Chain A
Amino acid sequence: MDRREFLKRSMLVVAGLAVPAAALELIDPERLLAARPELRWAFLVDAYACVGCGFCVKACKLENEVPYDANVSRTWVERYVVKRDGSVLIDSPRAARDGFTTGKIELGEGKYAEVPAGEIEKSFFVPKLCNQCENPPCVQVCPVGATYQTADGVVLVDRKWCIGCGYCIMGCPYGVRFFHPVHHVAEKCNFCYHRISRGMKSACVDACPFGARKIGNLRDPDDPVTKTVLAGRVGILKEEYGTKPQVYYVGLTREVR
């Protein structure tokens, strides 16, 4: 093979390699779905505003077809009761789907604790959902790429591709993931991606009568969520894991887990 021939052939090879690469590029779902650098979804939770009614949880279950009576949920609300002696009692009965109907705190294994009003230092509610982390460990550990992050920052699960290994459930420090009881694949909150990508708000935001939940675009400086995130005193959960959550909290205290 002379040099000319060699060059010709190598060009063929390079061209051959380039074609499938380009073809792949075209159908890359991440890019197709949301190649919008001007968009980054974020969530703002106001723990001062939340009264623990659980409307959001109910709405979420119905909207996203998570079986209503199954003991898992894409979002939930926690109740914190801090006693004068410093001890903290936390519960979220049935993910607070029906709100908090009793003053008794669920301790698991069918036990309850009743705290006399005089012993209570403070008590409050904290809604939880997937943080759509900037650096999501769930995406990192998924062996098949069924969990992936869109360009606008939302982490999604491909139900047709998930093998149900549960590695992502183990990898998420916030315990938001679970197995869908019907589809038997990993499941979690996706900020109601089907709604927000059509210009609507997520179901929980719409359902909250007290404005404790807001969703917005961090890249839009005029978005009220962005304004609060930038200028307000907001906190995020479990910062030490380096996951860079994009759910921001107003009124976070050190007791919150």
Chain B
Amino acid sequence: MVHGEAWTVKELFVYPNEYIYWTIQIVMYPFLTGLVAGAFVLSSLYHVFGVKQLKEIARFSLVFSFALLPCAPMPLLLHLQQPLRNHHVLMTPHFTSAIAAFGIVFITYGMIVASELWFVYRGHFVATVHVLREKRDRTLQETGLMRLYSLLVLGAWDVSHHALEQDEKGVKVLAGVGIPVACFLHGYAGFIFGSVKANALWMTPLMPVIFICSAVVSGIALCILTYIATMEIRKLMAAWRRRENPALPSPTDLGGVEENVVRMTSRYLVMFLILAITLELLDLIFRGYTAVKSWDILRSVIYGKDFTAIFVLQYGLGNLVPFVLFLLPGLTVRRAVVGTILVLFGVFMMRWNVVIGGQAFSASFAGFMHYHLPIWPHDFETFKEGLFGALAVGAVPFVFFVILARIFPVFGQRDSH
């Protein structure tokens, strides 16, 4: 069987070599990079523009963005036919290719986020190391943490007022530089598609911008959702621990989800959502209005074959419903949870409709291809390019986040910035 045959069904005239070559992993790829970029932009809103209400979530989303970062290339890797050769992209980058820029942009961006994290947490590292050093009966874990922090401090032990102020400046600069780089990271993921002239659905200069806007939307949504979830889990865990040791702070002392944080953040979410939808609709209307040669086949895909996926799931369930949920007065945390889940679903569907929808028609403009997502894998290929491969990729960032949050505490404690 040739690659793609396992999940492609052809209808009418399709060139013999055409299959759905870019599958769910290529849907996951822009989805994940979008989350990285979006989470970072959210954290920068506080650092750069000083939106005070976002302080609580800023640090959270920065760490989250860092946890998502190593996961962004994973779907690409899983989809390569020769994954062991992936380093070729860095060794012999071919600069006319949009994908070739990936390594460079990605590494630059990773370094920016890492340095920003360092500036944000340096004060905390130093303080913790001092406290732990004094402590006599350190647990193994504490000793480990102390060693790790001493290493991470990189010799910069100065925590004078001046030094901390310098840190803060560093954060500001990096957050400022990071915004365009984050946008670039994702904008160019859009460019990978938008520049493929052979594909009538992808080929639009709006693609990078559409991708950036929906990236920010998804990043903010995921941060709100994880923020709420983490807060709730923390409360539950506190209550549980307190049963054994009543001296510990009560859940109410810890403070739960800050409603105004959620409210404020959702306002930004709605703003970017409007922008994203406007651009997508503009693109759609423009295509219909100009109706070039490819419009016939595009129309039959958009308004026919993919109608449910595009209009019901993406625009309806993923955009309109959360839009209403967020805009109705008196936003509650519960409603925000439903809203953000739907928004995330909507952005995922948007990626799906671009990637899979873009391959739903043949380059002959005379036939169609349908993607049957492999659910139960019967070999490695149908695993990695199927449902479970995608779920696996989607789960990793949360694992990273849990690990990272142990090193970079994301809540309360002492203010280090």
Contact = CB atoms under 8 A, between A and B. Distances in A.
B157 interface: no
Contact of A90 (B1, B76, B366): B366
B3 A181 contact: yes
A71 B16 contact: yes
Interface in B1-26: 1-5, 9-19, 21-22
B110 interface: no
Nearest to B14: A108
A173 B198 contact: yes
Nearest to B363: A175
Interface string B388-415: 0000000000000000000000000000
Given A108-B367, A140-B97, A179-B4, A171 B81 contact: no
Contacts of A78: 13
Interface residues of B, number: 50
Given A108-B10, A143-B94, A185-B81, A240 B17 contact: no
B230 interface: no
A171 B12 contact: no
Contacts of A12: none
A35 B249 CA distance: 78
A163 interface: yes
B82 A164 contact: yes
B241 to A, nearest CB: 49
B292 to A, nearest CB: 9
Contacts of A173: 197-198, 363
Contacts of B277: none
Nearest to A92: B16
Interface in A70-111: 70-73, 76, 78, 88-92, 94-95, 107-109
Contacts of B94: 142-145
Chain A residues touching B, majority SS: loop
Interface in B300-341: none
Contacts of B93: 143-144
Contacts of B367: 108
Interface in A146-204: 146, 161-167, 169-179, 181, 184-185
A241 interface: yes
A109 B11 CA distance: 6
A167 B80 CA distance: 10
B162 interface: no
Interface string B50-83: 0000000000000000000000000010011111
A140 B16 contact: no
Contact of B5 (A71, A139, A161, A184): A71
B22 A170 contact: yes
A137 interface: yes
B97 A241 contact: no
B196 interface: yes
Given A142-B94, A179-B2, A181-B2, A164 B17 contact: no
A141 interface: yes
A175 B1 contact: no
B402 to A, nearest CB: 31
B362 A175 contact: yes
A184 B81 contact: yes
B98 interface: yes
A36 interface: no
B268 interface: no
Nearest to B200: A173
Given A161-B85, A161-B88, A107 B11 contact: yes
Given A109-B10, A144-B85, 20 more contacts: A71-B2, A72-B17, A78-B13, A92-B13, A92-B15, A108-B9, A108-B11, A141-B96, A141-B98, A144-B92, A145-B92, A162-B81, A163-B80, A163-B85, A176-B17, A178-B19, A179-B2, A184-B3, A185-B82, A257-B365
Which 10 A-B pairs have CB atoms at the shortest separation, nearest pair first? A164-B81, A175-B15, A173-B198, A143-B99, A178-B17, A90-B13, A145-B94, A257-B364, A143-B100, A179-B3
10 contacts: A73-B16, A73-B17, A137-B196, A143-B97, A143-B102, A145-B94, A172-B363, A179-B3, A184-B82, A185-B82
Interface of B: 1-5, 9-19, 21-22, 76, 79-83, 85-86, 88-89, 92-94, 96-100, 102, 192, 195-199, 293, 362-367
Interface of A: 70-73, 76, 78, 88-92, 94-95, 107-109, 128, 137, 139-146, 161-167, 169-179, 181, 184-185, 240-242, 257
